């Protein structure tokens, strides 16, 4: 079993260091860990945010654990050298088209949400975001126009792209509450018309799943108004980027939420995937011991579940996290005083004592 660890920038190294400690505590036989450079750190060392050796390392691994990329120092770089290209490049080069972003409240932390506690408590949803297409990867550029320089991007989805993410979403919904909401803007966009028609066609293969459709503006409103109505949401790359951040804020802290990006490649142990916290590199708090390592640790749990077939260990980690949060061990982002290391210590201690 091989895990590639790409810590990246900002708080990425601090939070993945805690995930690494948790992994070492589990002491899985036959596991090797490789570390590679991504983001601004890789740009400084190799002149590119996603060096070839990093990509090769990912391809040779059974799973990738990713920290975060992004740094103020790169704000003036051309787009293809910016740290964000590391994660976008990994997603497209590795064919990771299905992004799973679960958002569920942690008991006792409802007060952190900007929503009323009983509304926050009702959240238990999964955003399935398409990750290889849409306006993110379409042709784009700059041209002259009557109004001066004009930036342009292309949004598109073909049926094959929609079909495969729809299958991922229906399968995910089958493992949850069997309710799927497809989010689009079919009243305006041709992309969304094809999206909706294709999702409806795929639904015929999943008669047990209740499917409904929502325009993205309405979905954004419903997410804050009554998030409890959602079980599984499937949507495109751009809408999914926005709605998954919104869902995490409804839960309370972006520092608690993990994600998995999966493709079609099967390994000896499971589905190859990349796992990363939803939060970014937060360069403003980097190196201060303030970062919340929970999302990185929960990303490791998802990695063990989906890519290494280690459900028992995934559950052990998730239980340990729930318990330390219930014990009140958390940092300033959740109104507590624990440092990044102290949260990591507490998780490791729970895992050792419950083994
Ligand atoms: C995310 C991030 C990325 C995205 C950025 C860093 C390119 O916001 O993973 O949600 O837009 O997909
Ligand atoms: Mg985002």
Helices within the chain (DSSP H only): 12-26, 39-46, 52-60, 84-93, 117-121, 159-174, 190-203, 216-225, 237-251, 294-306, 311-326, 340-353
Sign of the dihedral defined by the CA atoms of residues 219, 222, 223, 224, in that order: positive
What domains sit in the chain, N to C, each tagged with a CATH number? 1-99+260-355 (3.40.718.10), 110-251 (3.40.718.10)
For the chain, the average pLDDT equals 95
DSSP lists the bridge partners of residue 165 as: none
Residues at Cβ < 5 Å from ligand 2 ion: 241
Of 15-24, 113-122, 165-174, the least confident: 113-122
**pLDDT for residue 111 is more than 90:** no
Q: How far apart are alpha carbons 21 and 220 in whole angstroms?
A: 37
Across the range 204-211, mean pLDDT stands at: 98
Ligand 1 closest atom vs CA 241? 10
Residue with tokens 């049926």: 159
Dist. CA 55 → ligand 2 center (Å)? 22
Residue 106's pLDDT is what?
A: 84
Please answer whether residues 158 and 186 qualify as being in contact, where contact means their C-beta atoms are separated by less than 8 angstroms: no
Which residues surround ligand 1 with Cβ inside 6 Å? 84, 87-88, 241
Alpha-carbon distance of 334 to 128, in angstroms, equals 26
C-alpha dihedral sign at 262, 260, 6, 133: positive
Residue 355 pLDDT grade (very low, low, confident, very high; cuts 50, 70, 90): low
Greatest extent of the chain over all pairs of C-alpha atoms, in Å: 68
Give the three-state DSSP class for 214.
Answer: strand
**Ligand 1 mean position, distance from CA 237 (Å):** 9
- Percent of the chain past pLDDT 90, that is, above it, reads 90
CB 215 within 8 A of CB 186: yes
Dist CA 158 CA 167 (whole Å):
15
Rounded Cα distance between 237 and 91, Å, is 12
**pLDDT tens across 232-270, in order?**
999 999 999 999 989 988 988 788 999 999 999 999 999
| Count of helix runs (H) and strand runs (E) in the chain | 12, 12
Distance 68 CA to ligand 1 centre (A): 10
Residue 213's Cβ-count burial label (10 Å; 0-12, 13-18, 19+) is middle
Amino acid 9: pLDDT: 96
Distance CA 157, CA 142 (A): 22
Q: Show which residues are catalytic.
A: 136, 185, 217, 241, 245
Q: Which of 71, 82, 88, 153 to mutate to test the pocket of ligand 1 (most atoms within 8 A of CB)?
A: 88
Classify residue 107 by burial, with Cβ atoms within 10 Å: 0-12, 13-18, 19+: exposed
Which atom of ligand 1 is nearest the CA belonging to 244?
10
* Tally of CB atoms within 10 A around 192: 23
pLDDT number for residue 264: 94
Pocket test for ligand 1, best of 64, 84, 100 (most atoms within 8 A of CB): 84
Write the CA distances from 93 to 41, 86, 132, 177, integer angstroms: 20, 10, 9, 32
Would you call 150 helix, strand, or coil by DSSP?
Answer: strand
Nearest ligand to residue 8 Cα:
1
Q: Residue holding tokens 């419903």?
A: 222
pLDDT tens digits, 112-135: 888 999 999 999 999 999 999 999
Which residue, by CA, sits nearest to atom 2 of ligand 1? 241
Q: Burial letters for 250-288: b for 16+ Cβ neighbours within 10 Å, e otherwise?
A: bbbbbbbbbbbbbbeeebebbbbbbbbbbbbbbbebbee
User: How many Å apart are CA 96 and CA 172, to the nearest integer?
Assistant: 16
Residue nearest ligand 1's atom 4 by CA? 241
So what's the pLDDT on residue 112?
86
Question: How many whole angstroms separate alpha carbon 82 and alpha carbon 48?
Answer: 8
């Amino acid at each position: 079993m091989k895990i590639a660890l790409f810590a990246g920038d900002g708080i990425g190294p601090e939070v993945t260091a805690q995930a690494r400690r948790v992994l070492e505590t589990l002491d899985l036989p036959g596991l090797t860990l490789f570390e590679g450079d991504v983001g601004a750190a890789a740009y400084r060392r190799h002149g590119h945010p996603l060096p070839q050796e990093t990509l090769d390392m990912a391809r040779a691994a059974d799973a990738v654990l990713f920290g975060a990329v992004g740094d103020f120092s790169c704000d003036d770089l051309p787009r293809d050298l910016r740290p964000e290209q590391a994660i976008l490049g990994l997603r497209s080069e590795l064919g990771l088209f299905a992004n799973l972003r679960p958002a569920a409240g942690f008991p006792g932390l409802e007060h952190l949400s900007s929503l009323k506690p009983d509304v926050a408590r009702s959240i238990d949803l999964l955003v399935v975001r398409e990750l290889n297409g849409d306006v993110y990867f379409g042709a784009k550029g700059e041209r002259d126009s009557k109004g001066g320089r004009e930036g342009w991007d292309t949004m598109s989805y073909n049926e094959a792209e929609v079909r495969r993410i729809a299958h991922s979403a229906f399968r995910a919904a089958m493992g949850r509450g069997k309710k799927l909401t497809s989010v689009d803007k079919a009243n305006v966009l041709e992309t969304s018309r094809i999206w909706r028609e294709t999702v409806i066609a795929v639904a015929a293969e999943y008669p047990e799943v209740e499917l409904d459709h929502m325009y993205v503006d309405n979905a954004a409103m419903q997410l804050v108004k009554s998030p409890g109505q959602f079980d599984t949401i499937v949507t495109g790359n751009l809408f999914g980027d926005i709605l998954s951040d919104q869902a995490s804020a409804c839960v309370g802290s972006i520092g608690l939420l993990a994600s998995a990006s999966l493709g079609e490649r099967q390994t000896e142990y499971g589905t190859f995937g990349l796992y990363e916290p939803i939060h970014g590199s937060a360069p403003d708090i980097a190196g201060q011991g303030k970062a919340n390592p929970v999302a990185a640790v929960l990303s490791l749990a998802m990695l063990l579940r989906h890519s290494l077939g280690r459900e028992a260990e995934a559950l052990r980690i998730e239980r340990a996290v729930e318990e330390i949060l219930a014990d009140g061990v958390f940092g300033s982002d959740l109104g507590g005083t624990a440092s990044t290391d102290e949260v990591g210590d507490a998780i490791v201690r729970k895992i050792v004592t419950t083994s």
